[in-house]
Each structure stands twice: as C-alpha cells, then as structure tokens.
Amino acid sequence: MVKGDNEVAPEPEFPEQFRSYSENEKHWQARRAFILRNNPLEGGEAPTPLCMDQLLSLSMVWANHLFLGCSYSKDLLEKVTEMANGIEVEDVPHFTTRDELIKRINTSA
C-alpha cells in the first residue's frame, strides 16, 4: 500500500490521533507515512503546536493533491513533494487538467 523509509514512530498512538473521521485506509496510510517521515519528535523535543499544525496542514495538502487532484501554488507543491520524497503510494489516480482536455479537443478537431 504505502512504503516509506525510516518509518519509526516514537509512540504508536502519536499519528493515530490525527486521522480524519472520513479518511479511508489508503489515504490515511499515505498521510501517516508523510507525518512520520517529517516527524518533529525525531530530535527528542516536543513539537510546538504551530509546528505540528503546519505539518498536519502540509500532509493534507500532499494527500489532497495526490488523491483528489487539488491544485496549489507551485512553491507549495514543490515543498510537499520534497517532504514526501521516498514515500511510494500504489494505485494513485490520474487526473486530467482543464488545459489537457482543451489540448485534446484542439488537436482532434
């Protein structure tokens, strides 16, 4: 399903508390891997609420882009893509953009 390197949680319940009620297992496992990969607890110090909120927000941006096709600014997408480096998600949907659709229509006409 999801493969990530260095996936060691300091506490088993740590990431589980951040799972969204409506998040299916596939989406959660990918987002969980993202959270653990960028875990602010790795240094042994507790994360600030702002730092944790930022990580959770970035994990949602990444998951929304990956699974739902949401678009964000180029800089933000580059940041979350870099943060997700090494996380492999199987069966990711492919989304066709408006520009791709228009290009197809124009080339077929």
What is the DSSP track for 18-41?
Answer: T--TT--HHHHHHHHHHHHHT-GG
**Count of structural domains within the chain:** 1
- Asked if residue 89 belongs to a domain, the reply is yes
Query: What local confidence, expressed as pLDDT, does residue 80 receive?
Result: 96
- Asked if residue 96 belongs to a domain, the reply is yes
- Asked if residue 30 belongs to a domain, the reply is yes
Range of the domain at 46: 25-108
List helix spans (H) across the chain: 13-16, 25-37, 49-63, 74-83, 98-108
Query: What local confidence, expressed as pLDDT, does residue 95 receive?
Result: 78
- Asked if residue 18 belongs to a domain, the reply is no
Query: What local confidence, expressed as pLDDT, does residue 2 receive?
Result: 58
More confident of the two residues 86 and 104: 86
- Asked if residue 33 belongs to a domain, the reply is yes
- Asked if residue 9 belongs to a domain, the reply is no
CA pair distance 78, 74, nearest whole angstrom:
6
